[in-house]
Structure 1
Amino acid sequence: MFIGFDYGTSNCSVAMMKEGKPTLLPLEGNDVYIPSTLCAPTRESVSEHLFRHLNIKPSSEVGEQLLRKSIAFNREEDIELVPEDILFGQSALSLYLRDPRDVYYVKSPKSFLGASGLHEIQISFFEDLVCAMMANIKHQAEKSTQEAITDTVIGKPINFNGLGGDASNRQAESILIRAAKRAGFKNIMFEFEPVAAGLEYESTLTKDQTVLIVDIGGGTTDCSLIQMGPSYQGKTDRSNTLLAHSGQRVGGNDLDIYLAFKQLMPLFGMTGLTSSGIKLPLKQFWDPIAINNVEAQKDFYSRQNLAVLNQLRRDAKEPEKITRLIEVYNETLGYSIVRRAEEAKIALSDSPEYIANIALLSETLELTIERDQMVESIESPKSKMIELVNDAVKQGGIKPDAIFMTGGSARSPILCQAIEQQLPNVPIVKGNDFGSVTAGLARWGEVCFK
């Protein structure tokens, strides 16, 4: 049996074909979407969990080395790992928000898979993270199907990392393949996520069109200009119909991060001055919320950085704000701050203002954010997304008949309006914001595995 598998930056989902139509399968309770999150007692618990409780062995000598180190660390810390210690999805997020200091929490590991400069041990660790998540999703899907799932089509962005190019894409795909095989999949295919979304849209067409697919996910924005319609359905080779591709690692998460940086981080001292009138370094306020940047997170939460933060507090004109920043360090609150920004972003799509609340140990910070302030805050990532739209159309050399928008951030009226301004008089069609890619991957699986 095969499934379409959208291993997303924000959410994951899978679909099977049933009576000629894609059907999404429940993965967490009755929910067909599971947040791309994992929570464990320690960072080292993930590798041990795979081996001890799922009988999933490392795929390489480096992986075996990581497993040995992980087991040794947990023994030293007197951690006896049980299967229930590893949580996924909303359960993982809920535990983290209740007690962020005493757990290891990771969101959106897909964002890191194409990162440049990763050491072999880091690559092996990300493979373990992805494998644990995939194994959980496969198990949950099989509970619904009551059948063993052996084959899958996995979606991939046009580019996993804008800086690394083809090397980053190869690295990310290799991690996904190894993780999927260890999770129990036998035959694995890939399809571009915007192309998959387009296949689902194509099933509704009664005549051929040139369609611009704009897939704005949590971690990437991908655009594909595709010829589609009844003449092309069911064909195994669609290479001649793909007129242009563009993609970059900029997505909904970046909108959240920029909104948090511009609007929330001043509460923690950003834009402040030292007592001698010098501006405080921006890096200390960017790194804690750059949740999709491995090095930034490592730098901020390093032991050495605590000394830097304490010196910053001594130098600052408003030391009480830097005290809040030190609490972010001590309580690992970066994810929580970005979460508040995400809530504000969603609310401001429909409301002129939003009151954001950030709970600290000694106080609750409250800030009113206006819609215009949000628009200004996200200008940089929004501009990059619009550049990708223009690039795909320019490459293809033809104006599309329609624009099909999908992905979680495709709901944003701000982004839709910006695209309308670039391509006036081209109708925008909305798909299932989270499910179009998954459904299209299942449809492509029917072609690949028939």
Structure 2
Amino acid sequence: MFIGFDYGTSSCSVAYMQDGTPSPIALEGDNIYIPSTLAAPTREAVTESLYRFYNIVPDTQNGQASLRRAVAVNREEGIELAPGDIAFGQAALQQYLSDPEFTYYVKSPKSFLGSTGLRDAQLQFFEDLVCAMMANIKQRSEQALQEHIDDTVIGRPIHFQGRGGTLADQQAEAILLNAAKRVGFKHVEFQFEPVAAGLEFEASLTEDKIVLIVDIGGGTTDCSMIEMGPNYRHKQDRTRSILGHTGQRIGGNDLDIHLAFRQLMPEFGYGSLMRSGLEMPITQFWNPVAINDVPAQTDFYSQANKTRLQELYKNAREPEKLARLLQLQQSILGHGVVRRAEEAKIALSQQQQIQSQLDFLQDEVTITLTQQAMMESIQAPKLKMMRLVKEAVDQSGVTPDVIYMTGGSAKSPILRQTVADLLPDIPVVGGNDFGSVTAGLARWAQMCFGVSPSSVTEK
């Protein structure tokens, strides 16, 4: 059996082919999307649980060493793991919000896979994180279908988040491939996410068109100019029909982060003054919400930074705000702030003004947010996204017949209108904003495995 697997930055989903049509599989209750989140008692619990409860044995010396370290650390801290201690999706978020100080919580590990300068132990741990999430999804899918799933096509962005260029992309794809093999997929292929999204749209075309696919996901934006239609849809090699593509580590998460920074962090002291008249250092307010930046998060939650924050509190003109920042640091609440910003972004796409409540703080704070303030806050990442759209068109040297927008953030009427303004008189269409990539991956899986499964490949 084969599936298309969208291992997304914000959420994951899978689909199989049923009577020639992609069919999604429920992964969390009746929901076909499961947030890309994981919660555990400790960081080391993730690695130990793979071996203890999923029967996933490390396949390298580095992996075996990581497992030994994880078991030793958990024993030293008196942690005895039980089945179910690792939570995924909404359950992971709820576990984190209910007990943030004693929960190891990860959102969007895909954002970290292309990071440069990672040590072998860090690479191994990221692989374990991906492995745990894939194992959970594969297990749930097999339970739903009552069949073993051996083959998969996994979606990948044109460029993963990371500054290492081709090497970063190779590193990220290798982590995904190794994790997929460890959880039991025998045959694995990869397909670019915007191409997969286009395959689903192509199934509806009755004539050939040049399509600009704008895929705005949680962590990346990818834009591809592709020749599509009846004369292309059955070709296994689509390389020649790709006229141009661009991609960058900018996505819906960045909109959330910028909104959190500009509109919510002032309640924690951003923009306030010290007694000397100097402004508070900006990094102390950016780092806690920069949830896709490992070094920023590590620095903010360090013990050394706690000392720095205590000094800022003593010298603040508005110490009550710095007290909130100290609480945020000590209770590891940065994800909660960004979550409120994400909720506000969604609500402000339809309303002019909303009330956002930071109800996870000791002194609950209510903030009034406006659509205009949101648009100003997300201006920088929005401009980067539109630059990618323009560069894809310029690179191809042709004008698209139609613009197909997909991805979770493509639902935003603000982004859709911005694209329409950038390329006037070209129709902008959309489909299943979250599901088009998954459906396209399932179609490609049928191309790869429908007759006879191919061998595992690394591109």
TM range (shorter): over 0.9
Amino acid at match of 2:270: M
C-alpha distance in 1 between matches for 2:116 and 2:413: 33
- Matched length: 450
Cα distance in 2, alignment partners of residues 395 and 75 from structure 1: 56
| Contact 1:156–1:190 (CA under 8 A) maintained in structure 2 | yes
Confirm or deny that 1:131 pairs with 2:118. no
8 Å contact 1:39–1:86 — kept in the other structure? yes
CA distance in 2, matches of 1:373, 1:307: 33
Once residues 299 and 36 of structure 1 are traced to their aligned partners in structure 2, the CA distance between those partners, rounded to angstroms, is 23
Deviation at 1:360, TM superposition (A): 4.3
2:398 and 2:146 map into 1 onto residues whose CA distance is 47
Could you tell me which residue of structure 1 aligns to residue 426 of structure 2? 426
Residue aligning to 2:198: 198
**Contact 2:109/2:130 (8 A) holds in 1:** yes
Cα distance in 2 for residues equivalent to 1:143 and 1:322: 49
How far residue 272 of structure 1 moved from its aligned partner, in angstroms, is 1.1
Amino acid at match of 1:307: T
TM-score by length of 1: 0.99
Equivalent residue number for residue 457 of structure 2: none
The answer as to whether partners of 2:202 and 2:229 remain within 8 angstroms in 1 is yes
Which residue number in structure 1 is paired with residue 318 of structure 2? 318
Q: What aligned pairs does 1:95-106 form with structure 2 within 5 A after superposition?
A: 95-106=95-106
SS across alignment from 1:383: helix
Contact conserved, 2:289 with 2:334, CA < 8 A, in 1?
Answer: yes
Once residues 413 and 122 of structure 1 are traced to their aligned partners in structure 2, the CA distance between those partners, rounded to angstroms, is: 39
Residue 10, structure 1, aligned to residue 18, structure 2 = no
1:59 deviates by 2.9
- Cα shift at 1:108: 0.4
**Per-residue deviation at 1:405?**
0.6
Superposition pairs of residues 143-158 of structure 1, within 5 angstroms:
143-158=143-158
- C-alpha distance in structure 1 between counterparts of 2:172 and 2:360, whole Å: 37
Alignment of 1:17-416 (within 5 A): 17-161=17-161, 163-416=163-416
Q: Which runs of 5+ in 2 are unaligned?
A: 452-459
Aligned residues of 2:35 and 2:90 also touching (Cα < 8 A): yes
Using the TM superposition, give the Cα deviation of residue 63 of structure 1 relative to its aligned residue in structure 2, in angstroms. Answer: 1.6
Structure 2 CA distance for aligned equivalents of residues 342 and 228 of structure 1: 34
Q: Is contact 1:44-1:70 (8 Å) kept?
A: yes
Deviations 1:107-145 (A, max 9, x none): 100000001111111110000000000001001111121
Aligned partner letter, 2:309: L
- Alpha-carbon displacement from aligned partner over 1:154-192 (angstroms, at most 9, x marks no partner): 000011025221011000000000000001101110000
Task: Verify the 8 A CA contact 2:112 2:162 in the aligned structure 1.
Answer: no
**What is the identity, as a one-letter code, of the residue corresponding to 1:425?**
D
Aligned 8 A contact 2:14 2:438 in 1: yes
Q: Percent identity?
A: 59
Mapped to 2, the partners of 1:60 and 1:345 lie a distance apart of 43
Is contact 1:316–1:322 with CA below 8 Å preserved after alignment? Answer: yes
Deviation at residue 362 of structure 1 after TM alignment = 2.8
For 1:208, give the aligned amino acid.
Answer: D
Compared with structure 1, are the counterparts of its residues 55 and 162 closer, same or farther at alpha carbon in structure 2 (3 Å cutoff)? Answer: closer
Which amino acid letter does the alignment assign opposite residue 432 of structure 1?
Answer: N
d(CA) in 1 for partners of 2:443, 2:337: 38
How far has the Cα of 1:83 moved from its partner?
A: 1.4
| Cα deviation, residue 444, structure 1 | 0.6
Q: By how many angstroms is 1:414 displaced? A: 0.8
Q: Distance in 2 between matches of 1:144 and 1:360?
A: 36
> Could you tell me how far apart the structure 1 residues matched to 2:364 and 2:332 are?
16
| TM-align CA RMSD | 0.8
The answer as to whether partners of 2:324 and 2:361 remain within 8 angstroms in 1 is no
CA contact (8 A) 2:161 2:219 kept: no
User: 1:154 & 1:184 partners in 2: Cα distance?
Assistant: 14
For the structure 1 residues 140 and 360, does the alpha-carbon distance in structure 2 shift closer, same or farther, using more than 3 Å as the test? closer
Alpha carbons 1:59, 1:178 under 8 Å: kept: no
Q: 2:296 and 2:32 mapped to 1: Cα distance?
A: 32
2:150 maps to a residue whose letter is T
Shift of 1:361: 4.3
How far the C-alpha of 1:194 sits from its partner, in A, is: 0.3
Q: For residues 312-369 of structure 1, give each alpha carbon's deviation from its aligned partner in whole angstroms, at most 9, with x where no partner exists.
A: 1112111111111000011111000000101110000010011111024431111101
Return closer, same or farther for 1:390/1:361 CA change in 2, 3 Å cut-off: closer
Aligned mates of 2:346, 2:239 — CA distance in 1: 37
Question: Is the 2:223–2:389 contact (alpha carbons within 8 Å) kept by the matching residues of 1?
Answer: yes
1:227 to partner: Cα distance: 0.2
Question: Cα deviation per residue 1:92-112 (whole Å; 9 max; x = unaligned)?
Answer: 111111111111110100000
Report the counterpart of residue 454 of structure 2 in structure 1. none
Q: Is the CA contact 1:15–1:25 (under 8 Å) kept in the aligned structure 2?
A: yes
Secondary structure at the aligned position of 1:160 is classed as coil
CA deviations over 1:416-444 (Å, ceiling 9, x no partner):
11101110011011110110000000001
How many angstroms does 1:220 deviate by? 0.4
AA aligned to 2:385 is M
Shift of 1:52: 1.1
Q: Which one-letter code corresponds to 1:212 in the other structure? A: L
Following TM superposition, the consecutive aligned residue runs of length 4 or more in structure 1 with deviations greater than 4 angstroms are: none
**d(CA) in 2 for partners of 1:9 and 1:366?**
29
Residues 42 and 104 in structure 1, CA contact (< 8 A), matched pair in contact too: yes
- Quickly say closer, same or farther: Cα 1:73–1:82, change in 2 above 3 A: same
